[in-house]
Amino acid sequence: MKNLEDSHFLIRAANEHHRLALLVACAVLAVLPIAASAQTEMIPGVTIGMDNQFVFPHTSLPGATGIDFSFMGAFAPHYPPEESHTVVIVFEWGPTATGPWSTSPDNVNTVPGGMTDLFATGVYHGPEDAPFVAIHFYAGDFMTVSGEFTHTSVIPEPSAILLVGVGLMSLPLACRRRRAKAV
């Protein structure tokens, strides 16, 4: 009988070590950074007018669920210097370089006449991934724009893996408790 009790003790100890190893593995996965495919396109002092679209290929990562977009740059109106000018920036994504495009809400900026205005859109989360992205400028008059257009594939956070791992580890414990109550 002593050997049988020893073997049950060893089996329980091995199960505890396996659970601990799984918990450690899940914790490590939860804190590892995910390689995001952030891509930055330079827009180097280009003159824009009423309707200008700049299209770029987007490299997606497996498992990507969307695209984060942002633009940070400067606008300088050409003329007249005494008037303010409005520029609208729209992020777009689609299956081909010619569309059809899904679009973000408008990012509107008023540029004071005779000045260079710095502007950042903040991050917009596009709800789906796509092989092509675009930044579209609509301006009331000619102006020069230069800046960085960034598009990054969004991957679900690894903490989801941790939650699944903890759930799987708790199943044997729940089963053992039910068996103990039944006896």
The stretch 73-88 carries a mean pLDDT of 88
- pLDDT of residue 16 exceeding 90: no
| Residue 98 identity | T
Q: pLDDT band for 143, please (50, 70, 90 cuts).
A: very high
92 within 8 A of 128, measured Cβ to Cβ:
no
Q: What is the mean pLDDT of residues 178-183?
A: 64
Is the predicted pLDDT of residue 12 greater than 60, yes or no?
Answer: no
**Residue % of the chain over a pLDDT of 90:** 47
**Tell me, what's the pLDDT at 33?**
41
179: which DSSP letter?
H
- Output the pLDDT for position 174: 62
Phi–psi pair at 53, nearest 5 degrees? -120, 135
Least confident stretch, 46-55, 100-109, 128-137, 152-161: 152-161
Name the one residue in this structure whose structure tokens are 């003329």. 79
pLDDT 10s digits, 24-55:
555 544 444 444 568 999 999 999 989 999 99
Cβ proximity of 26 and 161 under 8 Å = yes
Tell me the per-residue pLDDT of 90-99, one tens digit each, with 9 for 90 and over: 999 999 999 8
How many whole angstroms separate alpha carbon 32 and alpha carbon 155?
A: 13
* DSSP conformation class of 112: P
Judging by beta carbons within 10 Å of its beta carbon (0-12, 13-18, 19+), is residue 8 exposed, middle or buried? exposed
Query: Domains plus CATH for the chain?
Result: 2-33+158-182 (no CATH), 39-154 (2.60.120.260)
- Could you tell me which residues come within 8 angstroms of residue 61 by beta carbon, excluding any fewer than 6 positions away? 35, 36, 37, 153, 155
Q: What does pLDDT average to over the chain? A: 80
